[in-house]
Amino acid sequence: MSKHYPRNLKIDKMVKALRMARFFGDKTYQLKEPCNKGHLSPRSVASGLCLECAREQMTNDRHMAQPAMDEMERWKAANG
């Protein structure tokens, strides 16, 4: 899909969007280009993952997601 894209230009745009998001203190940033799975959803500043991909990963891969969820529950119980 992206073979006609100048790769460096795309990365440069991503880096710029990421810096903007960090500057404004956002947790996510939005690009005009879809992610490599074709989602047009905001991306996490922390991981660079598009939120739709992250959500898919969470639902598809419970082995990976569950420890993180457990950790979050423990944190909430301890701090909340």
Report the interface residues with Zn ion, using CB under 5 A.
35, 37, 39, 50, 52-53
Three-class SS state of 50: strand
Alpha helices in the chain (DSSP H): 7-23, 51-60, 62-79
Residue placing its CB nearer to Zn ion in the complex, 48 or 75:
48
Rounded to a whole number of angstroms, the minimum distance from the CB of residue 35 to Zn ion is 3
Q: How far is the CB of 34 from Zn ion (least distance, A)?
A: 7
Between 48 and 67, CB nearer to Zn ion: 48
Q: Residue 29's closest CA among 12, 38, 16? A: 16
State the Cα–Cα distance between residues 10 and 31, nearest whole angstrom. 10
Q: How far is the CB of 52 from Zn ion (least distance, A)?
A: 4
Pick between residue 38 and residue 80 the one whose CB is nearest to Zn ion: 38
